[in-house]
Amino acid sequence: MLLHYIHCMEIVFGEGVPPLDENGNPKSKFEVKMRPLGPNPAKDGVEKAVFLDGKMLDFKIDVLRFLEAKKKGMKYLIEEQGKIEKEFVKCVSEATGKKVTTQDIKKAILEGWI
């Protein structure tokens, strides 16, 4: 009985309750994690991925596009980084169902909520 009570208190007062945004809606859990690309991470490798409320965000950077921009020079690289940032912000906005900004994402990386 005590364990059930403690579990309920954790849900009410602890990790189980997300903070609210400025409109009173619950925020989404925002995590950046490394995830294995196959059954053997040492052989198959790992990648960095973003998770919203435990679900992996469907976002990939086109590495070839990025490398091509890098070959062309700094101007093109900066332009490509801006495009990637814009696409990522749009993807997070769609996944959370609310318009977010780059600053919101930077804050979420630090705080764990968006």
- pLDDT score for 50: 95
What are the domain boundaries of the chain? 19-111
Query: What predicted TM-score, i.e. pTM, was given to this entire model?
Result: 0.77
- pLDDT score for 17: 84
What number is the average pLDDT over the span 48-59?
Answer: 94
For residue range 65-84, list pLDDT tens digits in order.
Answer: 989 999 999 999 999 999 99
Query: Which amino acid makes up residue 38?
Result: G
For residue range 6-47, list pLDDT tens digits in order.
Answer: 444 444 445 568 999 888 999 999 999 999 999 998 999 999
